[in-house]
Structures are given as structure tokens and as C-alpha cells.
Structure 1
Amino acid sequence: MRNMKALGAVTLSLALAACDMAPKYVRPDLPVPAGTPQGDAYAANDGAGAIVPADTAWRDFFTDARLARVIETALANNRDLRLALANVAQARAQYKVQRADLLPTVGATGTATYSEQPLVQFGQNQRLNTDVYQAQLGISSWEIDLFGRVRNLTKAAQEQYFASEENRNAAQTALIAETANAWLTMAADQERLRIATDLEKAFGKTLDLTRAQFAKGIASELEVRQAQTSYDQARSDIAQATTLVAQDQNALNLLAGTTVAQADLPQSFPDSSATIENLPANISSDILLRRPDIAAAEHQLRGANANIGAARAAFFPKLSLTAALGTVSLGLSGLFASGSDTWSVAPSATLPIFDFGRNKGNLRYAKATYDAMLATYEKSVQTGFKEVADALARRGTMAQQVEAQTSLRDSARVAYTLSDARFRAGVDSFLTTLDSQRTLYTAEQSLLATRLTRASNMVELYRAMGGGLK
């Protein structure tokens, strides 16, 4: 027993003194400028009042109650998010399996051996019956991790688990953004349908008036045909918008993972913003590290670094230990009697001499994998920087664009009202009224598209800056 305790103490000391063959991990410098771009396309800094997206819960960012309920439904039912959760569970289980190799597996065994053999004694043939009973508690082929091979493999599995969690977070962020954009798109298409319906009524009245004037010989057939084209175009747009609204609802149901309640569907484009708009106009590049996709790429890089340590450790001796402590007796009744105890210890060491380049190949593969993960990490950072910069560039000019489009729509509406009155009074030709109708229709559609772009831009900014996890 004393020998077993001494061996255990020595083994524990060796394990504690084990070295790590992995390179020291140092986070790579960000391959992007220190801050987001500045220029005419970018707005000035918003100051201290701007919120930090990564610290803002999505429930606080999306201010429309209907949209918030749809997002909550999607987070609870979306199948892609469930798949991401299953991937996290798989990675967690694999990490636990690998981590178990750090400690010895203790097992209990019990055996009973019955034998019979001839025994020749004094010229007489006799039979010797022997019954042997044995019970043991021991460990089998436990690797003493002197050079960190098992610990680095465990570290790699742990980083893979962390990466899967960040991928799940990235999937959640993307789902929130996609759901919000799908809801806003449906709202815009509902508004587009309303605009087309209103103008179809106006074009219909103009068509009826033109037909009546044609019947009296006041208007020409050309004017009737021109009025008919505007009316038919509006009818076609109504049919198209009706289809788009139905398809938008189908897309929203797919993202939500269930049928969205009718009360939560938009009936028109909201007059007020559906989100908080006070986001920073420029940020430090360090905030990109809080994006889940970039965090996942760094965990992959850390895991590749640990695999280099495991590959290096393969060049050194592999020590393992098999030991058992138990009791043995020729009779079952004496199995645990005094003096029946037994023990065995079998340490072993294996040193690779000729492996025909296997270990070198594994090490080169591990280093090449690290290089690939480094390039992936840097590309993720650069992609994130571009997404933020693009969103900020779009945001910087949106206010002026919406203002200009609103003024254009208002002027077109007044011009249409005046030209219609002049046409009815016989002052202007129908062509002037027709042009005014078409200009107003185009202006209404352009303003709606610009408002949708502004709303979607706020969602993209929130996502690109690492929000959407709470």
C-alpha cells in the first residue's frame, strides 16, 4: 500500500510539472484602421448620448411592440437557431469527452477461475481442483501528460466549444436582423399596395373624365389611351404588391418558425422609427472584437494554436501507467480476509524513433491550419470593418436623402393637384396632367423605398456593431 501511495505522489508531481509545447498565444493586430472612415459621406460624431450596440438589448433597440413580439417568436421557434444550439451541445459533449483523458479512468473488476488438472502422487492418479477468486480496483493505460499533448487537445476542444457558442450568438444576431428586415419589407409592401390603390382610384377618375370628354368630342382618342395606360399600370402594380405582401408574410413565418399572429403583422409603414436611432457615427475598431463571428474566428485560431502544441508533444516520449489494487483468495469466503491483498504497477514509456515522417507531417499540418485560421480571423475582422463602414456611409446621407425625397413628393403632389384642376378647367392639355400623375406616383414609390432603406440601415448598424445578444 505504501508503494502505491508513493507511486501516486510521484505521478502527480510529474503531471503538475508537465510542460506545454504550444506557442504562446498573442492576439494578432487588427488588420484595419484604428477607427471607421471619415468624410463627406459620414455623419459627425453623435457625442456622449449615443448607445453602444453591444451593450444594448434587442428588446430596448426595437421600439415597435409588434416587431418585438415577432422577433421573440423567431428566437423561440426558428429551426436554424435550434440547429446552432444543437451544434453547441455537440461541441460541449466533445469537450467533456476530451477533458476526461486528463484524469485516469478507475475501474473495478471481479473474476472467478475454476480449474481442474491431473495430479500423480505415489503411483495414484488424482485430480486437483482449484478455485481462485479475485477482486481489483485499478487504472488502465493512463497517459501521464508530461509534455502537454492531452492538455492541448483538451484546450483545442474547449476552444471549438467556445467557437460554437459564438457561432450560435452570430446566428441569433443574424436572425434578429433578418426578422426585423422582413417585417419592415412587409410594412413597405403594404404601404406600396396602399399607394397603388389610391393612385388607381385617381387614375380611374381621370380615365372616366377623359372618356366623357372624348364622347363629347372635347378629348382625343390618344388622350383616352394615355389615361388608360396609367390606370392599367396602377392595376398591375396593385396585383404585384398583393403578391409581394403574401410572399413577405410567408418569409416572416419561415423566420419565426410558426405562423405570425395577424395582430403582429404590419398594415402600413410606421410613421415613427421602429428602432432607436441614436447610434454612434464613428467607432473604434476594437469594438469589432465584440462581434460574435469575429470572436468565433479567434477561438478557432486559439484552438489551432493548441493543436500545434499537441503535434509537438508527439515527438517526445509518451508515458502511461497501468496499476491495480485488490485481493485474491482460493476460496470465496477468504476473498477479503487479512493477507489476501495484492497490487501491481506497470508504467511504460514509448519513444517514436522511425515513424516515416508521420509526426513531422502532423506538425506541418497543425501549423498550416493555424495559418489558415489566422487568415480567416483577419478576413472576418476586415469584413466586419467594411460592413460597419458601409452602414455608416449609408447612414451619413440618409437624413438629407429622406428630406429631399419628401420635398420631391410634396412638390409632385401639389403639381398634380394644380395640373388636374387646370385640365378640368380646360386650361392645360391632358398630357400635362398625365405627366404630373406619373411623377407623383414615382415620387411616392421613391420616398417609400428611401424610408425602408433608412430603417434597414439602422438594423444593419446594430447588427454590424455587435448588438442583438441580450
Structure 2
Amino acid sequence: MRRLSLIAMAVAVLATGCTMAPKYERPAAPVSANFPAHGVYATQPVATPDGARSANGVAAADIGWRDFFVDARLQRLIDIALKNNRDLRVAMLNVQAAQAQYQVVTTLLLPSITAVGAQSKTRKPDNLSFLNQTISNTYTVGLNASWEIDLFGRVQSMRNQALAKYFATAYARKAAEISLVSQVAVQYLQVLQTDDLLKVTHQTLASASESYRIVKLQFDNGAASELDVSQAQTVMEGAAANLQAQERARAQAVNALVLLLGEPVPDDLPGGMPLDGQDLLADIPAGLPSDLLLRRPDIMEAEQNLLAANANIGAARAAFFPNISLTGMLGTLSPTLGGLFKAGSAGWSFAPTITLPIYGDQFANLEYANIQKKIEIANYEKAIQSAFKDVADGLAARGTYDQQIAALVRDTAAQQRRLELSTLRYKQGVDSYLGVLTAQQDLYSAQQTLIAARTQRLANLVTLYQALGGGWIERTGDAPRAADAG
């Protein structure tokens, strides 16, 4: 019964000139039709008339990265990375390699022609020789041609598979470029974060050192206890230790940025903007999950791998049917080298061949091809689910960071006021110095938390921009490049 179904399939292929690959149907997206919209998702940034920058309803994939990022220093760093990053360079070379492989398979659809020059020398036994000529020479010059007649679409299926793999590597390269833009921006934000932390730590260390000096002087004059001195020293030494850790973190953040750039950070970079002045586009519309199928290159890569697996089934099915090939030679033959091009030395041969598989690994290969397709379906569905999660996570964060940062700003202001009041009460002899030290430590902690939250908010906007397919074009309004564009 299985043989009969294959024969019927072959008849259909011969009638239509197609391959034996199954008809492709895109799997249904295994996610909700809409992104979450309640709870933490309910409060999303919107365009406001107060002069804030707005995406004006433009989708992320259509917003150029120079319009998303306004920091001239960051723009220059991204431009350098796109030219020099080694991972992106490898991704581009992979596209070229896949293109070459596709061209190799395409040539199988055409006749193969080679020029041949050969000599053969043969010795026969005396009892088989003619007129005692036991040694004979044959010189040949000509053209050999061979051609597989692709009646059952085997080569065409291989060609379709190679083409899908080429597109898959092209989309992988596009995903790598979008990811690189995002990585450079996030790493740049990390450098700015360490700068702000260092500034706060320097201020805290200076304040703590001055407090320690005053308390130590009071202790020497008998106006403060040794406990006050130890407590003041604890804050000072803690700030000094944090300063070294943050200096180290900044150096490592710069090193990570250099790796992404593919070259040392240039000395002639334009002036940058502070962490709280980056002013990224915060109101990019999320759209629908179905939009991601055409905007996320990793999803398109997964679908091309699925198409390649589907085409491979066609090649595996075609292996059950006869392979027909034609070979021939046209040239001159002569028993002597000097007679090759004389009149009457022309010769030719023609040898059609039909190979019919009887027993082999065809069933195992077909089963393997079908399993590979199931694997690629699962990979495609997982790519969609991962993309949905990326966007949903970004929307959840975008809907909460503004309120969190506003609360942290108020908390930091309150901690600053608390330190001022604690210092005043200590000077008036109302409270011990412990209240001052505690307020100083709490203010320092609140300042660090605020800096971290601001960095996370900006990093989330960057990754959301990437998750929605942004970062491929340089300026808004530019014509989108092909995935395999250089």
C-alpha cells in the first residue's frame, strides 16, 4: 500500500512538473491573539503634548536606530560596531557560504560538461593479439557531458532546501545585527550607570571622610565616644571599598563594550548624554503578536528552516523512484598522438542509464526527513512563544518602571532630608551620631537603587525595541534592506 501511494505521487509529479515535497502550511501561532493588557500592562507610556519625543504610532521595525537613540556618542558607537563586530562578520560570511551552497545545488539541474584529454595503453597476451601487436595505444581528446533528468523532482527539492537554508542564514544575520545594536546600547548604559554610581560614591566617601574627621577630633577632645568613631569609620571604609568595586566594574563594562565594537573606543567620540537624559522613544506601539511573524527575523529564520525540512521530504520521497542520467562523449580518438586531429578520427559515445532502487535505506531516510520536519515545527512554535514572552516581559516592565522611579525619586529626597535633620539633631545634642550614620547609609543605598532602576528602565526600552523587530534600518523612512544585504 505504501508503494502504491508513492507511485501515485510520482504520477502527480510527472503531470505537474513539481516536487514530491508536501504542500507547506504555516503552523498556527501557539500564542494569544493579543498581548496582555491588564494589571501591570494597563499603564503604558503614551505621547504627551509637553514636548517629549514620541514614536507617533510608528512600529518599531520602521523606526531607525538613529531616531530611537538620540545620544550622538551612542550613535557613533553603534555605527562602529556594525562595521567591525566579529560575530556580525561571521554571520555575513555564513550567508555567503549558504549562497555558494545553493549555487552548487542549482548546477545539478544543468548538464555537466568537462574537457578531457587521455591516453590509455593496453597489452594483450600473444594468443589474443592480432599480427603480434600485443601493445596498443589510444589517445582521446573531447568533451564529456552528463545530466541527471530530474523527472521526480529530487534535485529540485534539494535546490529548494538549499534556498530555504540560504534565507534562514540571511535572517539569522539580520537577527544578529538587530541584537548587536541592542547589545551596544545596553552596554553603553552600563558604562553610564557605573559613572553615576562612581559620582555618588565619591560624594558619599567625601562626606563620610569629613564626618569621620570631625568625630575623631571630637573624640580626641573628649566630646565623642570611641563607638562614634568606629561607626563613622565603618561608613567611610564601606564607601572606599565600594569605590574600588565600581572602578573595577566600569573598566570591565568598557572592556565588554570594546568587544562589541571590535576595536578600542575612539578618542574622538562626540559628547554623550547622562543616564537620565537618554530620552529613548518610550511609546512604541506593541501591535499584535501576529505582526511578529513578519518583523522578527528569528521567527522568519525558524520558518525557513521548516521550509528546508519540508523540501527535504520531497528529496527523500524521490529517492524511491528511478534515477535517469545521460552521459556522452564527443571528440577525436587515434592510436597515435599525431593522428588525433586528422580526418576520420572523430568519435562519440552516448550512454543513458536508469537506476531503480530495490532495497536500501530509502524508508529510513524518509522517516528521518519526516521527524526532522516535526522538530523544525516545534522550533518554529518555540520561536513564536519566545518572541511573545520577550514582548510581554518588556510591556510589563514598561508599564511599571515610571511609577517605580517616581517613588524612588521621592524616597531619595526624603532620605536626603532625613540626613539633614539627623545631622542637625546630633549637633544640638538631641540624638546620638548613630542616627546620622544610619541616615547617611540609607541615602547612599537609595541613590544606588535609583540609578539601577533608571538603567533598567532604559535597558528594557532597548530590548523591547529589539523584541518588536527594531534596529534594522538606520533612519526612519529608509527603505528596509533585504535580509542578505551587505
- After TM superposition, the score normalised by the length of structure 2 is 0.84
Q: Deviations over 1:167-206 (max 9, x none)?
A: 1222222222222111111110111011011011111222
Partner of 1:3: none
2-structure distance, mates of 1:286, 1:207: 60
Matching residue within 389, 399, 405 for 2:392: 389
Answer yes or no: is 1:449 the counterpart of 2:452: yes
After alignment, is 297-306 or 409-418 more displaced?
Answer: 409-418
Q: Which one-letter code corresponds to 2:211 in the other structure? A: T
After alignment, is 183-192 or 301-310 more displaced?
Answer: 183-192
Partner of 2:276: 271
For residues 391-406 of structure 1, the aligned pairs below 5 Å read: 391-406=394-409
2-structure distance, mates of 1:301, 1:263: 47
* Deviation at residue 327 of structure 1 after TM alignment: 4.8
For residues 48-447 of structure 1, the aligned pairs below 5 Å read: 49-110=56-117, 135-140=141-146, 142-262=147-267, 264=269, 269-273=274-278, 275-281=280-286, 283-327=288-332, 342-355=347-360, 358-447=361-450
Identity, in percent, stands at 43
* Deviation at residue 148 of structure 1 after TM alignment: 0.6
Q: Deviations over 1:280-336 (max 9, x none)?
A: 255443224421211111111000000000000001111111123345578889866
Q: Which one-letter code corresponds to 1:75 in the other structure? A: L
**Distance change >3 Å, CA 237–CA 130, structure 1 → 2:** closer
Q: Which one-letter code corresponds to 1:242 in the other structure? A: E
1-structure distance, mates of 2:120, 2:343: 21
After alignment, is 167-176 or 335-344 more displaced?
Answer: 335-344
Partner of 1:18: 17
Aligned residue pair count: 449
After alignment, is 269-278 or 110-119 more displaced?
Answer: 110-119
Partner of 1:9: none
Name the SS for the 1:137 alignment partner: strand
2-structure distance, mates of 1:239, 1:117: 91
**Distance change >3 Å, CA 221–CA 268, structure 1 → 2:** farther
Q: Please tell me whether the aligned partners of residues 15 and 144 of structure 1 are also in contact (alpha carbons under 8 angstroms).
A: no
Partner of 1:6: none
2-structure distance, mates of 1:82, 1:384: 25
**Distance change >3 Å, CA 233–CA 288, structure 1 → 2:** farther
**Distance change >3 Å, CA 274–CA 257, structure 1 → 2:** farther
2-structure distance, mates of 1:267, 1:289: 34
2-structure distance, mates of 1:249, 1:212: 41
1-structure distance, mates of 2:464, 2:254: 24
2-structure distance, mates of 1:296, 1:204: 58
Q: Which runs of 5+ in 1 are unaligned?
A: 1-13, 120-124
Q: Please tell me whether the aligned partners of residues 282 and 392 of structure 1 are also in contact (alpha carbons under 8 angstroms).
A: no
After alignment, is 301-310 or 268-277 more displaced?
Answer: 268-277
Q: Please tell me whether the aligned partners of residues 287 and 465 of structure 1 are also in contact (alpha carbons under 8 angstroms).
A: yes
Q: Please tell me whether the aligned partners of residues 22 and 307 of structure 1 are also in contact (alpha carbons under 8 angstroms).
A: yes
Q: Please tell me whether the aligned partners of residues 207 and 231 of structure 1 are also in contact (alpha carbons under 8 angstroms).
A: yes
2-structure distance, mates of 1:130, 1:214: 118
1-structure distance, mates of 2:17, 2:352: 17
Q: Please tell me whether the aligned partners of residues 72 and 272 of structure 2 are also in contact (alpha carbons under 8 angstroms).
A: no
2-structure distance, mates of 1:240, 1:45: 35
After alignment, is 107-116 or 210-219 more displaced?
Answer: 107-116
After alignment, is 329-338 or 56-65 more displaced?
Answer: 329-338
Q: Which one-letter code corresponds to 2:393 in the other structure? A: D
Q: Which runs of 5+ in 2 are unaligned?
A: 1-12, 48-54, 474-486
Higher Cα Rg, which structure: 1
Q: Which one-letter code corresponds to 2:111 in the other structure? A: P
1-structure distance, mates of 2:263, 2:316: 48
1-structure distance, mates of 2:287, 2:38: 11
2-structure distance, mates of 1:268, 1:238: 23
Name the SS for the 1:271 alignment partner: helix
Q: Which one-letter code corresponds to 2:177 in the other structure? A: Q
Q: Deviations over 1:81-139 (max 9, x none)?
A: 222222222222221111111111112334567999999xxxxx898999876543341
Q: Which one-letter code corresponds to 1:309 in the other structure? A: G
Name the SS for the 2:39 alignment partner: coil
* Deviation at residue 452 of structure 1 after TM alignment: 0.3
